[in-house]
């Protein structure tokens, strides 16, 4: 969970995109604030990049910023509706191309063409086989000095909690409604899965990079909602011995959500 079919059903049909994806930035004070205070500081040294590949851009929440830092850009997404939306939204940007994929293919991307590959707040819904497939292909797609920035699930690092949540969801709805108002399982665990992939971990990401001939050069494990569980990982990777392969850094950041609260306050002063 979630499977590719479930992801397609959700993002191409069930989910209504009430604010075209910006709703996911609300806890950070909005998309502009989240970009400048949370994302850009983490990727600034990789920009500008001649060609950027964005995996799962959704409605272009981050595309609108990335497009100013490249000569050309490619977006691939499993959702045909999202791709059509991006094509319309960025119709005047002749250097941007968008393609529908099957949820794990980069066939539309030329080999040795990508200087920076980016995905944030999307691949957290991708299970291990999807992440592995993307990394195998990116070994061919990246330029010699190419670099990648993936935000993915680390929920699989908490198998006990995942098992309890699965058992909890199997309970009859009437029982779950009686449990939740009293705090229930989710409060006890201090974890909200946010439909995250349960099989993916930061350790697996490092393993898949190595198997694909890439190097995971840094990882930042972060929490996303309340609680201390570091359910996500921000992983940066490149080719071995590339200019970016200068460190092997690992950080456990349980204050990511706290920074989000500060960002929300700063947005009142510095953002539109």
Q: Which of 138, 58, 128 is nearest to 105 (CA)?
A: 138
Q: How far apart are CA 178 and CA 226, in angstroms?
A: 22
Cβ atoms of 244 and 147 within 8 Å: the answer is yes
Statement: residue 182 has pLDDT above 70 = no
Statement: residue 170 has pLDDT above 90 = no
Q: How far apart are CA 70 and CA 90, in angstroms?
A: 15
Per residue in 30-51, pLDDT (tens digit) is 999 999 999 999 999 999 999 9
Q: Which of 76, 77, 150 is nearest to 109 (CA)?
A: 76
Task: Specify the pLDDT at position 50.
Answer: 98
- Return mean pLDDT, the chain: 91
Cβ atoms of 155 and 193 within 8 Å: the answer is yes
Q: Residue 227: is it exposed, middle or buried by C-beta count within 10 angstroms (0-12/13-18/19+)?
A: middle
Statement: residue 138 has pLDDT above 80 = yes
- Residues sharing a CB contact under 8 Å with residue 108, sequence separation 6 or more, in sequence order: 74, 76, 99, 101
Q: Which domains are assigned to the chain?
A: 4-155+195-270 (3.40.50.150)
Task: Specify the pLDDT at position 204.
Answer: 98
Task: Specify the pLDDT at position 189.
Answer: 40
């Amino acid at each position: 969970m979630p499977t590719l079919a479930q992801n397609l059903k959700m993002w191409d049909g069930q989910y209504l995109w009430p604010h075209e994806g910006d709703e996911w930035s609300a806890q950070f004070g909005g998309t502009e604030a989240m970009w400048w205070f949370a994302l850009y500081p983490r990727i600034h040294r990789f920009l500008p990049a001649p060609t950027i590949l964005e995996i799962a851009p959704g409605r272009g929440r981050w595309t609108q910023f990335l497009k100013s830092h490249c000569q050309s850009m490619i977006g691939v997404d499993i959702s045909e509706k999202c791709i059509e939306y991006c094509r319309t939204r960025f119709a005047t940007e002749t250097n941007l191309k968008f393609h529908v994929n099957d949820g794990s293919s980069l066939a539309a991307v030329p080999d040795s063409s990508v200087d920076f590959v980016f995905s944030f707040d999307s691949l957290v819904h991708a299970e291990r086989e999807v992440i592995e497939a993307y990394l195998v292909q990116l070994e061919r797609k990246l330029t010699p000095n190419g670099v990648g920035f993936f935000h993915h699930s680390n929920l699989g690092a908490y198998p006990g909690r995942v098992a309890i949540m699965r058992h909890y969801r199997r309970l009859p709805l009437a029982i779950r409604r009686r449990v939740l108002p009293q705090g229930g399982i989710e409060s006890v665990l201090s974890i909200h899965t946010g439909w995250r992939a349960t099989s993916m971990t930061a350790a697996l990401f490092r393993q898949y990079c190595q198997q694909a001939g890439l190097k995971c050069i840094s990882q930042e494990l972060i929490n996303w909602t309340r609680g201390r569980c570091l359910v996500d990982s921000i992983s940066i990777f490149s080719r071995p011995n590339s200019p970016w392969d200068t460190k092997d850094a690992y950080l456990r950041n349980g204050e990511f959500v706290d920074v989000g609260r500060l960002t929300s306050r700063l947005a009142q002063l510095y953002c539109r």
